[in-house]
């Protein structure tokens, strides 16, 4: 385990889950009649089938949106204890039972889902006692959102305890990003409950088809986006491999922008965007002759101008792709300097998009920490000196401070940040 905050977080989640378990154990909540037992087995298998079949986008909000249509009915039909049990066991993902996956994280995931279901069930009971009809789309929606909210609060607390988020990060944006598909999930859950109650077991066959169809629709969407990015990424990798000195550059810069971005309070919605931009930032170099890109000696003014055209070339190359609209400004401005002496537009300070300022810093950091034709990689002390020297001139001073803090706290060990 990493540090104290994280240990406290994990222990708290374990204790809450254990508390709920003891609270319900031995009460009539844990009693199952044969039909309910059948339902426990059926819903658990259905959930496992979904979890194991969901490869694209798993680990993100996708997995929870796909499993939610079963989790809600499980809570509805089986009550908090068994609903929680079905959800915790049914959401095991293939990567979580691979060798090397930490057992304590496996238990942590189960505990968080168990807790989310139990807390949502209190909310359900409160609404039903308040005179709402048992099957009511709004109640189901409320349960769906409550489940998501509780889950998100825990995830957020976990990320925060793990110091991946800075305190300035916005929880509302984080939760919204992960809640986008709850509406569809809720609708599927309502249909599930209604069909089950009117048609009992034969209805389950229809539900199987329905839930799988829902999964396929969601997966198809993610597959489409993923394969699109894969094409672009391999396209961008061509640039890295052209030059032995910059091999892996885009990948490393993508990691740095994510780390710096999180600490700078960039919202989780904007993180994937800046990561994609980092992977593509030098794509404009594809249009520049290798003889210039790889020239060991001094460049002529004309050659230097050609190199300097790569941010604009990159923007031009990608501008017709609608899906990448958000990335254009980041790519165009990644060589601007904080003092306005950069290119292509000579923008200054806050006029440079925030993400472009992060990218520019990460890009330069990777240059410092890798060997180049003209010099060896700098060591940590030299990098820190260079960052101090360029803070406020080349780089945004606030972002530079963040990176310096990260380095001083050994965020990157010598093998990760420094290419040997
Ligand atoms: Fe560049």
Distance (angstroms) between ligand 1 centre and the Cα of 281 equals 6
Give 169 Cα–ligand 1 centroid separation in angstroms. Answer: 28
Q: Looking at the predicted structure, is the pLDDT value of residue 309 above 80?
A: yes
Q: What is the whole-number distance in angstroms between the Cα of residue 265 and the centre of ligand 1?
A: 24
Comparing 23-32, 101-110, 187-196, the range with the smallest average pLDDT is 187-196
Distance 234 CA to ligand 1 centre (A): 17
User: How far away, in angstroms, is 241 Cα from ligand 1 center?
Assistant: 15
Least confident range of 116-120, 210-214, 223-227, 387-391? 223-227
- pLDDT at res. 167: 42
Superfamily of domain 243-417: Hypothetical protein af1432 (1.10.3210.10)
Ligand 1 centroid to Cα of residue 385, in Å, is 22
Residue 251 Cα to ligand 1 midpoint, Å, equals 13
Q: How far is the CA of 284 from the centre of ligand 1 (A)?
A: 8
Q: Reply yes or no on whether the pLDDT at 16 is more than 70.
A: yes
401 vs 322 pLDDT, higher one: 401
On the question of pLDDT at 184 being above 80, the answer is: no
For 165-194, what is the mean pLDDT? 66
Ligand 1 centroid–CA 201 distance in Å is 60
Tokens of 5: 């905050």
335: CA distance to ligand 1 center in Å? 6
Confidence band, pLDDT 50/70/90 cuts, at residue 349: very high
Residue 285 Cα to ligand 1 midpoint, Å, equals: 8
Q: What's the CA-to-centroid distance between 252 and ligand 1, angstroms?
A: 14
| 246 C-alpha to ligand 1 centroid (Å) | 11
Ligand 1 centroid–CA 334 distance in Å is: 7
Compute the distance from residue 59 Cα to the ligand 1 centre, in Å: 31
Rounded to the nearest angstrom, the distance between the alpha carbon of 381 and the centre of ligand 1 is 25
* Mean local confidence (pLDDT), 291-303: 85
How many whole angstroms from 364 Cα to the centroid of ligand 1?
9
Among 208-222, 317-331, 375-389, the minimum mean pLDDT is found in 208-222
Ligand 1 centroid–CA 250 distance in Å is 10
**Domain boundaries in the chain?**
4-227, 243-417
Please give the average per-residue pLDDT across 105-113, as a whole number: 88
Q: Which residue has the higher pLDDT, 383 or 191?
A: 383
Residues with a beta carbon under 5 angstroms from ion ligand 1: 282
Whole-number Å distance, alpha carbon 3 to ligand 1 midpoint, is 36
CB 173 within 8 A of CB 16: no
Tell me how far the alpha carbon of residue 296 lies from the centroid of ligand 1, in angstroms. 18
CA 419 to ligand 1 center in whole angstroms: 19
Q: Cα(307) to centroid of ligand 1, in Å?
A: 9
- Res 324: pLDDT: 75
Is 336's pLDDT higher than 90? yes
pLDDT at 410 over 50: yes
What pLDDT score was predicted for residue 420? 35
Residue 56 has pLDDT above 50, yes or no: no
Find the 409 Cα to ligand 1 centroid distance in Å.
Answer: 28
User: Confidence band (pLDDT; 50, 70, 90) for 131?
Assistant: low
CA dist 257 and 337 (Å) reads 17
How far apart are the CA of 357 and the centre of ligand 1, in A?
A: 12
Question: Residue 361 C-alpha to ligand 1 middle, in angstroms?
Answer: 11
**pLDDT in the model for residue 59:** 41
- Ligand 1 mean position, distance from CA 415 (Å): 24
Highest mean pLDDT among 40-44, 90-94, 96-100, 240-244: 40-44
Query: In the predicted model, what is the mean pLDDT of the chain?
Result: 80
CA of 369 to the centre of ligand 1 (A): 16
Q: What's the CA-to-centroid distance between 290 and ligand 1, angstroms? A: 15
């Amino acid at each position: 385990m990493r540090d104290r905050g994280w240990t406290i977080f994990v222990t708290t989640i374990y204790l809450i889950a254990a508390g709920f378990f003891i609270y319900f154990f031995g009460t009539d909540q844990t009693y199952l009649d044969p039909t309910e037992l059948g339902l426990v087995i059926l819903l658990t298998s259905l959930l496992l089938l979904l979890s194991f079949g969901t490869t694209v986008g798993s680990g993100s909000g996708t997995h929870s949106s796909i499993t939610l249509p079963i989790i809600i009915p499980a809570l509805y039909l089986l009550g908090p204890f068994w609903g929680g049990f079905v959800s915790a066991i049914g959401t095991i993902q293939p990567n979580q039972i691979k060798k090397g996956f930490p057992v304590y994280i496996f238990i942590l995931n189960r505990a968080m889902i168990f807790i989310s279901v139990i807390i949502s069930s209190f909310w359900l009971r409160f609404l039903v006692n308040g005179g709402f009809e048992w099957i009511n789309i709004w109640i189901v929606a409320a349960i769906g959102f409550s489940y998501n909210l509780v889950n998100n609060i825990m995830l957020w607390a976990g990320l925060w305890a793990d110091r991946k988020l800075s305190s300035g990060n916005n929880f509302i944006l984080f939760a919204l990003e992960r809640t986008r598909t709850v509406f569809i999930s809720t609708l599927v859950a309502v249909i599930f409950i209604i069909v089950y109650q009117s048609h009992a077991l034969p209805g389950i066959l229809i539900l199987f088809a329905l839930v799988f169809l829902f999964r396929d629709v969601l997966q198809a969407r993610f597959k489409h986006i993923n394969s699109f990015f894969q094409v672009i990424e391999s396209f961008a990798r061509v640039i890295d491999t052209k030059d032995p000195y910059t091999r892996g550059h885009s990948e490393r810069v993508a990691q740095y922008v994510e780390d710096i971005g999180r600490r700078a309070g960039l919202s989780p919605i904007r993180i994937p965007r800046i990561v994609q931009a980092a992977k593509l930032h030098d794509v404009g170099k594809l249009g520049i002759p290798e003889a210039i890109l790889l020239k060991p000696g001094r460049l002529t003014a004309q050659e230097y101008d050609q190199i300097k055209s790569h941010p604009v070339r990159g923007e031009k190359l990608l501008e017709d792709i609608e899906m990448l609209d958000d990335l254009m400004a980041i790519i165009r401005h990644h060589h601007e300097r904080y003092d306005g002496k950069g290119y292509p537009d000579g923008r200054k300070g806050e006029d440079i998009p925030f993400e472009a300022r992060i990218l520019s810093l990460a890009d330069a950091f990777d240059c410092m920490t890798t060997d180049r034709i003209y010099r060896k990689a700098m060591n940590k002390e030299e990098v820190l000196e260079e960052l101090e020297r360029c803070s406020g001139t080349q780089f945004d001073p606030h972002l530079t401070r963040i990176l310096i803090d990260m380095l001083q706290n050994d965020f990157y060990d010598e093998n990760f940040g420094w290419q040997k």
